[in-house]
């Protein structure tokens, strides 16, 4: 019987230098998209997919992440005293049970593959998910939940994929497709950040993975790859001809690259417009800005 996916790794050790000076004192994952930090969107998506154990791969200076998921008795007491039950309910989603989250330190920035490898003892011999909080996905059914369903059908390693313009493929890991079955594609090769014009397809891998534990054994033997880092893509690619194989999953939803300033701003607008209490004011402002731009031309 196939084991359920109940563990997820969240690689959050990066310095977030593209968001300096904000990230000098605030971990990038705590930066807010409307009124929730990036990490909350990732946690909510994982919970919807049935994840029970959350493994954070962190680094020095990430203490605010641990505090965020802790209970805040003084704040809760004040809200209770003032009868602000709705806000108390909002806080419930930020509280994690004791033991639900584990924190592992990545002492050297040796790449995504190394960050995942750091969590190997907590994963053990079970399938696991990897979620990159920088990739925020707006979807009716959460992306990881869609992928768990695909994993239950295929039993193989599953990576989230989306089509990108050919000129941007060099910024991603790219799939070489053996068989296209619609939402699911069977993979015969993966290339990390191929040179411009050399990508085997326009299907890029983005920050959601469901992996079999054999990937961790491959990472044990990995040497540095593209950029001098240990690449997760290389370890997954080594599984293509193995027992489980590798599949790409075209998820239904819109992905925002919140690791870039423009992507973060786009996500802020999109998620703001999706909120009933914010939509009218925000839309009116956007229309005013567009009208002023046109008038200035």
pLDDT for 75: 86
How far apart (Å, rounded) are the C-alpha atoms in residues 202 and 204? 6
Q: What is the pLDDT of residue 220?
A: 76
pLDDT score for 168: 87
Superfamily of domain 7-259: Spore Coat Polysaccharide Biosynthesis Protein SpsA; Chain A (3.90.550.10)
pLDDT in tens, 161-172: 999 988 888 888
Predicted local confidence at residue 3, as pLDDT = 83
Instruction: Show me where the domains of the chain are located.
Output: 7-259
- Taking a C-beta distance cutoff of 8 angstroms, is the pair 252, 139 a contact? yes
Helix (H) or strand (E) holding 210: strand 203-211
Nearest to residue 253, comparing CAs of 148, 146, 167?
Answer: 146
What pairing do the DSSP bridges indicate for beta strands 53-58 and 7-11?
parallel
Q: Within the chain, which residues score under 70 in pLDDT?
A: 1, 98, 222-228, 293-297
Contact by Cβ (8 Å): 55, 99: no
Distances (CA, A) of 283 to 35, 119, 265, 274: 18, 43, 15, 11
Give the β-pairing of 53-58 and 36-37: unpaired
């Amino acid at each position: 019987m196939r084991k359920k996916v109940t563990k997820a790794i969240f690689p959050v050790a990066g310095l977030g230098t593209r968001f300096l000076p904000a990230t000098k004192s605030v971990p990038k994952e705590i930066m807010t998209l409307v009124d929730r930090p990036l990490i909350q969107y990732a946690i909510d998506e994982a919970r919807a997919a049935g994840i029970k154990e959350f493994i954070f791969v962190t680094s020095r200076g990430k203490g605010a992440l641990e505090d965020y998921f802790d209970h805040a008795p003084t704040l809760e007491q004040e809200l209770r005293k003032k009868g602000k039950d709705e806000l108390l309910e909002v806080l419930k989603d930020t509280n994690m049970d004791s033991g639900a989250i584990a924190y592992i330190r990545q002492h050297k920035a040796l790449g995504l593959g190394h960050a995942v490898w750091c969590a190997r003892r907590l994963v053990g011999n079970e399938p696991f998910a990897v979620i990159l909080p920088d990739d925020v996905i707006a979807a009716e059914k959460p992306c990881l939940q869609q992928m768990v369903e695909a994993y239950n059908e295929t039993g193989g390693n599953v990576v989230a994929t989306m089509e990108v313009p050919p000129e941007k493929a060099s910024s991603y890991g790219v799939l070489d497709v053996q068989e296209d079955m619609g939402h699911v594609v069977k993979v015969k090769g993966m290339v990390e950040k191929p040179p411009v014009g050399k990508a085997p397809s326009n299907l890029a891998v983005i920050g959601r993975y469901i992996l079999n534990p054999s990937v961790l054994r491959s990472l044990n033997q990995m040497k540095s790859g593209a950029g001098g880092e240990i690449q997760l893509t290389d370890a997954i690619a080594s599984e293509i001809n193995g027992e489980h194989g590798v599949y790409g999953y075209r998820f239904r939803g819109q992905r925002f690259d919140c690791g870039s300033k423009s992507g973060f701003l786009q996500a802020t607008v999109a998620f703001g417009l999706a909120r009933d209490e914010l939509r009218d004011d925000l839309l009116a402002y956007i229309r005013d800005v567009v009208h002023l731009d046109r008038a200035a031309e």
